[in-house]
Amino acid sequence: MKSHNGITNREFKLLIKPRGLDRRSKITALSDQILIFCKKNKVEFFHLDNATTGLRNIYFYDTPGEDFRRSNIILRVRESRQNVWVDDWCEVTLKCRTHDLSEASKFNPTPKKSMKSRLRLKEEILRGDTVGTQRSIYSNNAILDAVPLDNIFDRTLSSVIKFFPGLASLSIDKKSPLRIVGGSTNKILEACLPIGNLVFGDGVQAHCDIAIWMKSVGDPIVGELAFSYRINDENRAQAKAHKRADKFFQKLQLELADWLEIGSTKTALIYGKPE
């Protein structure tokens, strides 16, 4: 782990092959395999047997020329669902995600002062070029938790700048239109199931979940197994625990080699370009 006082979260991600992921038995088998793996490796795993699956729609905005993507910017909307019903409020996230920590840190995603937000500087740990290795990318995030669905923004860059003034610093024509990446039919249905908590050391406890991305119910595109934990002043110096998390991630890839999908992130699959 790179030492940087600004990092607030570490998030480990593995893409999972989509076939059969909409079957509960498949998810149970994966979860059970992780549980056995944790016991073998003496990592405490507080398993959740009866967790509730959350549903939400996910989509991304960009210009027709994908100027955001070229500038390492991601603008994502998440709509929570209760069965077929979509909530009136959504989550909007603006992030700068790059391979360079200093570059990600330079961008200011902070929304205008009247908007309540959560700011996160994340180290996202992905599998490396071969199974059992890892690499990091960094994302500087501003998350708006409760934006009225009918009042997100109109379809122009200038309207989004009213939410996120930092976008004005990008060399993109402010009159550029925005559209949903891949078209309005490219909204993703995500099912997310918490499976438990992993303990790597004192104050270093990670939430672990499985997310399934689908075009519609019964049509999985990809899965993602992820675990993440907060970084704060109390646990930042726990180098042994952070290294233990790294080692666990590398060994977990070997354990789950048959499950793993080639690729970097779910967002990269939507854009059709690696991160």
| DSSP summary character for residue 21 | T
**How far is 125 from 229, CA to CA, in rounded Å?**
12
Contact 31, 50 (CB under 8 A): no
Query: How many beta carbons lie within 10 A of that of residue 26, not counting itself?
Result: 17
CB-based contact 261:17 (threshold 8 Å): yes
| pLDDT at residue 3 greater than cutoff 60 | no
For 146-176, write each residue's pLDDT tens digit. Answer: 888 887 877 889 989 989 999 999 999 989 9
pTM here is: 0.92
Q: Helix, strand or coil for residue 2?
A: coil
Q: What are the extents of the domains in the chain?
A: 9-271
Measured CA to CA, the distance from residue 159 to residue 96 in angstroms comes to: 19
In the predicted structure, residue 260 carries a pLDDT above the cut 60: yes
User: Which CATH number is 9-271's, of 1.10.8.60, 2.40.50.100, 2.40.320.10, 3.30.70.360?
Assistant: 2.40.320.10
Residue 53 DSSP label: P
